[in-house]
Structure 1
């Protein structure tokens, strides 16, 4: 839940039909431009969204902290990926997995019998201890498993890393996305991994007609009561994530049920660059997506629509990008 927005002891419910209409008009008008861009870039992977979740250049600082050993591992991941004709997205998945599991080091220890760069377990059929602690073997084995993952190249790198590693903490892989994106450009000498134009990790599809439809539907629920755990098959009450799920479902986009999962359900971008229809999130620790507890829909012009908390009906209110607990990334569903 999100703390109430109170004025004089009463919840401030802002009626901004004009804001809603202008937001819808903007995203619908931009659909034609987005269609033209998609047709012009049919061979690219723009619809995967950005390959970095942080602001432009945010991965460079983390990459600069790597040791010689870690950078050597990165170079091997990229070299083997190139030799196998794996796309840069595969290198990024491996870098994020390796950084999360071992800090990109070939460890001779780990949880239970986990060993090596990717903490592979000999007891689970990954190879002998000697093999999984051999960097070349481990990297090739990782790629062997990755290419068997359905649609691995059509989802965020951290999700593909989780599909290979099957960790009990799947969100950990996402934190290294900006650094890995920087490395595949800097070490791998790939200026444009998506193939959609210059600027690694900075291309993001524009808001779509679906976002406009989701906004219209969400605004139509204003005044309905908040209910924690509200059914997603009914529209008489909502909690924060059920409002987002149903709004986008009406627009033809499927979202997971809870806010923490919805954070993984689209392309990430700096919250200051949010556009109408993007989702904003609040967390007890804004740097840790596992602590997300609230989600709302951005309308543009510094306004959101949300189902806030018990006793507060669905409403529109002002939002500040410096607001307490606001996560520094927004999510663009459906891209």
Structure 2
């Protein structure tokens, strides 16, 4: 090989070496780029509580009780909440049809049960309230065991029990608004909440293949069905009516259906549809694996519905703190279970959550977009860089 050939070979070898180095450098650069993306993803902040997410847009925005498809709660029944709801829809409809009542009666009963118990046969409630319709043994709706029988409870709602009137006893109930008819039976301190469930119930009824337009008579069959074995004999039923200042369903004075909230130093009378104990149970039953993902940013709306309201009546979560009376606002970090906690965020809306006790809150969006999870209260600050504002008793001055 002469000098010229050797020079040419050296040039070619050099070119191959350069290409090899370029490939190696390219692979290394690509790897570093991918690692950078992963690190950025890990270090990126979680979703922020946004103005759109922590608003409360007022009445009629959504159903007053969201339907969950995979929820377990403290009831005598088993299965997911959605499965229990469908089963109870069918039971209530079966009772209505056995009594010769029209589909409208089923609709009214289902709307009532959705508000009272989320259509779940609850073994707890305010005071001694139990079951689908949260009927009270002390108000002569039957024994606890009887009230916990969905068929018995539905019969009571339709035909009355003891001194309590049923739907068929309400004059012109078929021409009344469904929510008004429900209230005429339940005599709730918050009767306006029943109407908010009509669209949800229609969806559940369709899924359960229940005909809400089936024909029937306003008073049912001419001859009543044979009494249930668990029914209370007429000879043993009292005819004494509750006093006019009491809520016939709860036995409480109408203005304090929510009970009393205490923080160890002060106490306040609440006016919420749900008591603190019932509200905490409701929040837990709709959190974690039990949560639907419809709560994307609706922190204020969720908190209102925890206590039985359709909406809080305030546009932004942080503004709710300012509409609560000043003497109820606390800046310490020692709220009592059931209190409302507030944070300022880098968005106008701020954030609000229900304190469950033990340092835990029920909050939307904190772990999963749109879902409710139970987390440490301080996670709002560490994950969202929020500023803690304080807490108040669970009062809703503008709710409805």
TM over 0.5: no
Higher relative contact order (CA 8 A, sep 6+): 1
TM-score bucket of the superposed structures, by smaller chain: 0.3 to 0.5
Structure 1 length as normaliser, TM-score? 0.39
Structure 2 length as normaliser, TM-score? 0.33
